[in-house]
Amino acid sequence: MSRIGVFICHCGENISRTVDVERVAAQVGTLPGVAFSTDYKYMCSDPGQGLLKKAIQEQRLSHVVVAACSPRMHEKTFRKAVESAGLNPFLCEMANIREHCSWVHEDREEATQKAIEIVGMMVERVKKNRVLPTITVPVTKRSLVIGGGIAGIQAALDIADCGHEVVLVEREPSIGGHMAQLSETFPTLDCSQCIMTPKMVDVANHPKIKLYTYAEIEHVEGYIGNFQVTVRKKARSVDEDKCTGCGVCMTKCPQKKIPNTFDRNLGMRPAIYVPFPQAVPNTPVIDRENCTKFKTGKCGVCQKVCGPGAVDYEQEDQLIVEPVGAIVVATGFDLYSIEEKPKGSPIKGYGEFGHGKIPDVIDGMTFERLASASGPTGGKILRPSDGREPKQIVFIQCVGSRAREKGISYCSKICCMYTAKHTMLYHHKVHDGQAYVFFMDARTPGKSYDEFWRRSIEEEEAVYIRGMVSRLYQKGDKIVVMGSDIAVGVQVEIEADMVVLATAVQPQKGADTLAQKLGISYDKYHFYSEAHAKLRPVECATAGIYLAGACQGPKDIPDTVSQASAAAAKVMTLFAKDKLEREPIVAKVREAGCVGCFYCRKVCPYGAVEEKEIRDRQGNLIKVVAYVNPGVCGGCGTCQATCPSKSVELDGYTDEQIVAMIESL
Amino acid sequence: MHHTEKHNFEPKIIAFVCTWCTYAGADLAGTSRMQYPANVRVLKFPCTGRIDPVFILKAFQQGADGVLVSGCHPGDCHYIAGNFHARRRFAAFRKLLEFVGVDLGRLQFSWVSAAEGGKWVEMVTDLTERVRGMGPMQEFRELALEEQWSGAIDTPELREAYNSI
Amino acid sequence: MTNSIDTSIYTAITEAIQDEARRILSERSVIAVVGYTAARRKGSAQPVVITQADDAGKLIFSAACVNNLAVYLTKAKKEIPKGGKIGIVVKGCDLKALVGLLGESQLKREELYLIGVPCAGVLASTAQPARELTGDTIAPKCRECDNHLPQGCDFVPDQRPVTLELAGKYSAEIARLEAMTPAERWAYWKEQFKKCIKCYACRQVCPFCFCEQCLCDRNKPQMVETTPRPAGNTAWHIVRAMHLAGRCAGCAECERVCPMDIPLNLLNRKMAKELKELYDYEAGFEVREKGPLAMYDEKDDQSFIK
Amino acid sequence: MHKYISENNLKALLDHLIADGKRVIAPRMDAGTPLYGPLADSAGIVLDQLPRRSAKETFFPVCEDIMSYDKEGQQVTLRDVSPANFPETILVGVRPCDAAAIPVLDAVFSWDYKDEFFLERRRKTTIVGLACTQADDACFCTAVGLSPADPKGSDLFLTPVEGGGYACETFTDKGEALVNNHGELFAEPNGTPALPLAEPQTEKFDLKKVKAWLDDHFEDPAWDSIAVRCVGCGACAFLCPACHCFDIVDEGTEKAGKRRKSWDACGFWKFTHHASGHNPRDLQPKRYRNRIMHKFKYYDDKFGQTLCTGCGRCIRFCPVGIDIAAIVNEISKK
């Protein structure tokens, strides 16, 4: 028989004003199983908790019900108190007679009666409560960072500097990401590579960072603290250990006419290449699609010229399993293509801007490469078509972004600022040139941002035209840009030498596939979803996975770096303990009843349900049943409501507890 | 404001709510000192996804005159998608109850967020008043007392028990 | 009455089933064949499991072959040999249940050898198995059958059933009930459920009631009264209909076997109708990983939610 | 005592009884199904078909309360159901296969434990049997030693005669009392010949041989082939006039509840399922074996009677066509 203790709180007068607390205590004291019942002014106060603890010991209470405020307020308080008195904290329940009773009813009789029923209901519930041990999960103090752009680099360095091992996986042959492509950065105009490359080198040299470039995530298993990540290290065809980075292979490669994607196809590179001179690692990779050796079997020059014998045509993809405890996703962004509308893209094409067919209509990133000192033109702004310097240049903002009719309604956030920067860079390099900007409105919140934008107009003489461009077309060697200036309400026509489109920021291609591997959610644009927009902005709903940078939404560099450090801090918080404790409100499978229909797995929002084989002593398979991984289970109980035989049960909210409550009413 | 006038019939309303949204919304109604009829008894679940249709059936069998099921708005589920599963489950279940002859006026589903204390009050008040107008849920109560003819005993005690409800 | 239904092809089908069973058993491509065999009473048939090619001659198909044999393949039936490929004779309606079981991880297609039956219909009841198959004696499910020739089987005798155009009964009956007031519907079902004696024939023949421990057999907590009283009976049939919603493909075995004539398939057809209307889902046509109540769409109807 | 009663007078008799406050149980249509049940008046009686369930529920209800409890504070109050409250009953239109089962059941309900719930109803009930004029190929009363005109179990037995009405014969004091109390409705027998009786076609079983085989064949491969098809429902046991297993469960809440006794069936997997999880009858053939053993061996061992009256209900309504007549016939030939 249970010996339940019931404690009715007056909450000063908050409860006792409308609820006759003494009557409630007296009434519930007569319920079967209740051994002790009392009322007290402030149960949550020190003396109140003392009373509770004393009663547990003196009355040898088996369960406790505290009738007071909402459990959302003080459940933790009382469970702690109960625990310190030697009872399992989950044998304590709260009956909410304040928010749900005394505060919402005026009639003392009605409120008292209701309070008696609420407490009675919790008494019946607590009888069915079970001792729940706190669940502890070991934590593997290594983390995985996916993506080697500035977000990934920052997160990796922060975690590694804290002494924890980091596995950094980058899809491209070098880390660096988009920031390595940029010329100068707003609002300070410092050289992107100058601030970026030292960090890249830090990564390469960090004893705690294990770097996989030209690698992708193949498969992710496990849960917070205990992930098993399979990394596919693509065949580089160059042995990283042997290669000294001398670069002879690249200079000798006969196939040199491959568009350089790092330079937005403006320059050419050989079939064996590093994406850019400051690449980390500085180990070339053979582009097998374009390599003569791989296409025809003939050539093999690079192998012959390679002193250390690092070139290996036979190399195959390697699958490496890395155990990690936390994952930071920093896969970054991509720009919406101004070319033909990519298949399956959510946004409609921009035929009015030439669909990429006019060679001197380029996107912002291409302009970055033109403006970059290490770019294909050595930092000179030259037209891709004829190499002439453009004297009239038009920038068009919000290409793709904020265009609901095209399919993207969000703001890409960085374009206003980088366009302003572009006009400045242009003006610095082409002193007699004129920049025009078509814009909807300028969004410049951020430290020194608005000042920067104003400078582009006031000092660098950019002409800002509020309005959109309706059409542009090639006329001789000019591009006629037709738009409207809504500020003055006139049509504008500019004969430009070059047009730069500020195309929308989108998640990386394959963001959705990676999310499915990780079991994290994403929005309709495939940006990854944070657990809470305000309060948990760097965590995924899936425990142990964190977000950094533009994969979560468009971001500039300072925001990206901040979020990366925040994600790193979250990882370090996780790693601060050897074992992870979590509330034991998790589902458990009653294997005897489970027939393995896996309805639970079909509805589980967390992917917590696994298969488990039940075998007899001889090892013969009896059946396959569901197993809920307590580390992954979020505790929603959808599985139990769905299970036809109720063979999976959510601790803390069992059918017995709920039915006991219903039956008490 | 709710008037505490006396009625002939005080319906029993059982509410199944999720912890994160509706329970918190009901808390907010309390902290805002809003007033509503005292007929409702709240059962807290982690998520509407946990609410088994059998509980609704059980509630009616235990004498509920009305049942309210309430959780997070679509997209707000603390557990990602529990309320989406619940929505389908209850869309189907209410059709079944209707088909066996339960008046759906007694069964209310709602989304009440943690910020919607006022909506909670409205839901509870509306359902209570509606069910009050409909009168007691006799069907399940009578059914609970019915026996197969062969097992029925026409004892005075049984008669008394029957008349007391 | 001239509404008799031509079942003459059943003789040829019987022979074809026997030949095929003989072949697959003698080639040992299956360990057993689940089919029908004649029983003592005139015109009667009962399920049989044969494991020897020599027994293939016992197999028959007739209008009394009413059972959905898929139930024998579920885990609930521990008596049937498992652990090898099993041949099974299936009508179109039975096949729909098999398709459901495949989707619910209860069966594996590669472990089945499906012998499909071109079916013109079977009897509504086998209380008198010798009755001629007519528009009056035919099972209600056959009146609205859309699967006379089962698809996707490993073997189907080359026969074409001649079918009668018969008015469907379930949709009319559902419409009749829907037109009633809730109180009238309640009264209707109360009369029906009152008769129930909890013999659980409905559950035991149902291919989808494959739970090893039925929720309604549990007593801790007792979710549903187990005693055969009106209250427990009503709860049982409501819970069962809910558990079958989106899964039941209408083999109507529950209704056929109910010794108390409770129109159980009416509940299942009503739920099927609702799920079709709500989510455009129909059970039994293709093996699907998730049924309508195991998935969701963010845009699902919520007009009933305030 | 031999008498004659016309169809109209039989109905008048029933109406008189009902008017007298007696409970008259007879076959009638219940939501489309022929079932025994209390008549509101004689118009509802249906005598041309065998009711779906047997007459046993008059004495052994589908479900009945045997006790109730209340908890008030720390106090638990138990209340027994008093059989003294059972109403006086006339059970009418009972076929020989149903009526004959009732004295068979007397044996088990008044053996080591006197089941007052059964016995008090038995005392308070007068059984009016009815000879059977129709049989189908599921009927086999003759195979188990009964006949369509067997008055076993009846207090008063009616045999339909040519031209309408029934020849009546009393077999007990209760039967005589019924006739005497309503003498005006009965006439002297007029010698009209009885309608031709039903002639079940099933071969007579050699019950001794059957039992002899069962005595020696608790383990036998035949059980597997017989019952492999059994799906484990309780239709056979619940329709059977002689099956009498029951379960006792407590139902209710923490505050109040009932202890109930309801029909059980050996076909259910739960029937012998132990609390430990072990089940000695783990597979369906073992459960079906129990059904046959109980009917043709155990009950005979204990009470010298056969627990089957050949009504054929289990054959007609077995979901999977299990035919007890065929099985027993086969056994008797082994």
Q: What is the pLDDT of residue B1?
A: 43
* H or E element at residue A458: helix A449-458
* Record: contact D74-A32, CB cut-off 8 A: yes
| CA-to-CA dists, residue D170 to D74, D141, D183, D263, angstroms | 56, 22, 13, 32
Q: What CATH code is carried by the domain that includes residue B70? A: 3.40.50
Residue of B80, B88, B113, B124 to mutate when probing chain A, most A C-beta within 10 A: B80
**Residue-by-residue pLDDT tens, chain B, 165 positions:** 445 566 789 999 999 999 999 999 999 999 999 999 999 999 999 999 999 999 999 999 999 999 999 999 998 888 888 999 999 999 999 999 999 999 999 999 999 998 899 999 999 999 999 999 999 999 999 998 888 898 887 655 555 554 454
Q: Is residue B52 part of a domain?
A: yes
Residue D61 with chain B: CB contacts under 8 Å: 148, 150-151
ipTM for the complex?
0.93
Whether B88 and C296 lie within 8 Å, measured CB to CB: yes
Are D238 and C197 in contact by the 8 Å Cβ rule? The answer is yes
Kindly report which listed range (A20-24, A246-250, B161-165) carries the lowest average pLDDT score: B161-165
Q: Please, are residues D164 and D138 in contact by the beta-carbon 8 Å criterion?
A: no
Using CB atoms, which chains have 3+ pairs under 8 A with A? B, C, D
**What percentage of chain A carries pLDDT values higher than 90?**
82
Distance from CA of A527 to the nearest CA of B (A): 16
What's the domain range around A471? 337-505
Looking at chain C, the whole-number percentage of residues with pLDDT higher than 90 is 87
Section A283-300 average pLDDT: 93
Q: Which residue range(s) make up the domain with D267?
A: 2-332
**B147, B149, B155 ranked by CB distance to D85: nearest:** B155
Percentage with pLDDT > 70 across chain A: 99
Task: Report pLDDT for A322.
Answer: 97
**Gap between the terminal Cα atoms of chain C:** 55
B153 touches chain D (CB under 8 A): yes
- Mean pLDDT of the region A283-298: 93
- What is the number of structural domains in chain B? 1
pLDDT at B165: 43
8 A C-beta contact, residue A628 and residue A584: no
pLDDT in tens, C13-46: 999 999 999 999 999 999 999 999 999 999 999 9
Closest chain B residue to D38, measured at CA: B149
Question: Is the CB of residue A31 less than 8 Å away from at least one CB of chain D?
Answer: yes
Q: What is the pTM of this model?
A: 0.81
Are C192 and D31 in contact (CB < 8 Å)?
Answer: yes
- Name every chain D residue with its beta carbon within 8 A of the beta carbon of B150: 57-58, 60-62, 64
Mutation target among D24, D35, D81, D254 for the B interface, most CBs of B within 10 A: D81
Higher pLDDT, D95 or A632: D95
- Residues A602, A606: Cα–Cα separation, whole Å: 10
Residue B140 lies in a domain: no
For B114, the domain range is 13-135
pLDDT of D47: 95
D276 touches chain A (CB under 8 A): no
Residue A500 clears pLDDT 50, i.e. is over it: yes
Q: For chain D, what is the HEC assignment?
A: CEEEECHHHHHHHHHHHHHCCCEEEEEEEECCEEEEEECCCHHHECCCCCCCCCHHHHCCCCEEEEEEEEEECCEEEEEECCHHHCCCEEEEEECHHHHCHHHHHHHHHECCCECHHHHHHHHCEEEEEECCCCCCCCCCCHHHCCCCCCCCCCCEEEEEECCCCEEEEECCHHHHHHHHHCHHHCECCCCCCECCCCCCCCCCCCHHHHHHHHHHCCCCHHHHHHHCCCCCCCHHHHHCCCCCCEEEEEEECCCEEEEEEEECCCCCCCCCCCCCCCCCCCCHHHHHHHHHHHHHHHHHHHHCCCCCCCCCHHHHHCCCCCCHHHHHHHHHCC
First to last CA, chain A: 21
Residues A351 and A500 in one domain: yes
Asked whether residue B72 is assigned to any structural domain, the reply reads: yes
Residues A516 and A565 in one domain: yes
What pLDDT score was predicted for residue B162?
47
With CA atoms as reference, report the closest residue to B136 among B95, B164, B100: B164
For chain C, what percent of residues have pLDDT higher than 70? 99
> What are the pLDDT digits (tens) for D289-334?
999 999 999 999 999 999 999 999 999 999 999 999 999 999 998 8
pLDDT tens digits for range D164-223: 999 999 999 999 999 999 999 999 998 899 999 999 988 899 999 999 999 999 999 999
Residues A500 and A512 placed together within one structural domain of the fold:
no
- Domains contained in chain D, number: 1
- Asked whether residue A153 is assigned to any structural domain, the reply reads yes
pLDDT in tens, A114-159: 999 999 999 999 999 999 998 888 899 999 999 999 999 999 999 9
pLDDT above 50: residue A661: yes
Q: Say yes or no: B151 contacts chain D, CB-CB below 8 A.
A: yes
Mean of per-residue pLDDT scores for chain D:
94
Q: Is residue B126 part of a domain?
A: yes
Which chains touch D (3+ CB pairs under 8 A)? Answer: A, B, C
pLDDT at A301 over 90: yes
Show residues of chain A in contact with B36, CB under 8 Å.
104-105
Optimal mutation site among A11, A100, A118, A654, interface B, most CBs of chain B within 10 A = A100
The pair of structure tokens assigned to B76 is 């707000």
User: Would residue B158 count as lying in a domain?
Assistant: no
Residue with structure tokens 């190499």?
A387
Would residue B77 count as lying in a domain?
A: yes
pLDDT band at A406 (very low <50, low <70, confident <90, very high): confident
**Are A450 and A353 in a shared domain?**
yes
Q: How confident is the model at residue A639 (pLDDT cuts 50, 70, 90)?
A: very high
Judged against a pLDDT cut of 50, whether residue A95 lies above it is answered with: yes
Min Cα separation C89/chain D (Å): 14
Q: Are D116 and D261 in contact (CB under 8 A)?
A: no
Chain B contacts of C230, Cβ < 8 Å? 143, 146-148
The residues near A154 (Cβ < 8 Å, ≥ 6 apart) are A199, A548, A560, A561, A564, A565, A568
What CATH number should be reported for the domain holding residue A299? 3.50.50.60
Peptide bond into A308 cis (omega under 30): no
Residues 45-84 of D with CB under 8 A from C: 52-53, 62-63
pLDDT tens per residue across span C253-272: 999 999 999 999 999 999 99
Give residue C2's pLDDT: 62
Most D-contacting residue of B61, B146, B153 (CB-CB within 10 A), to test interface: B153
Report the number of distinct structural domains present in chain A.
4
- Residues lower than pLDDT 50 in chain C: none
Quick one: pLDDT at residue B6? 67
What residue in B sits closest to C185 (Cα-Cα)?
B101
Under an 8 A CB cutoff, do B62 and A665 touch?
Answer: yes
CB pair distance less than 8 Å for C213 and A642: no
Give how far D162 is from chain B: nearest CA, Å: 34
Beta-carbon separation of A660 and C221 below 8 A: yes
B6 within some domain = no
Q: What is the mean pLDDT of residues A445-457?
A: 95
Binary contact (C212, A593; C-beta < 8 A):
yes
pLDDT number for residue A208: 97
Whether A419 maps to a domain, the answer reads yes
Q: Is the pLDDT of residue A581 over 90?
A: no
**Structural Rg of chain A based on CA atoms:** 32
Q: Is residue A169 part of a domain?
A: yes
CB contact under 8 A, B33 and A118: no
A544-569 tens-digit pLDDT:
999 999 999 999 999 999 999 999 99
Residues A300 and A445 in one domain: no
- Kindly report, residue by residue over A339-351, the tens digit of the pLDDT: 766 566 666 777 7
Query: Alpha-carbon distance C164 to C166, whole Å?
Result: 6
The reported pLDDT for the residue numbered C65 is 97
Q: Are residues A559 and A602 in the same domain?
A: no
Q: What is the pLDDT of residues A303-334, one digit of tens each?
A: 999 999 999 999 999 999 999 999 999 999 99
| Mutation target among A99, A112, A600 for the B interface, most CBs of B within 10 A | A99
Quick one: A396 and A420 in the same domain? yes
Structure tokens at B22: 């509706």
Q: Is residue B164 part of a domain?
A: no
**pLDDT at residue D84, rounded to an integer:** 84
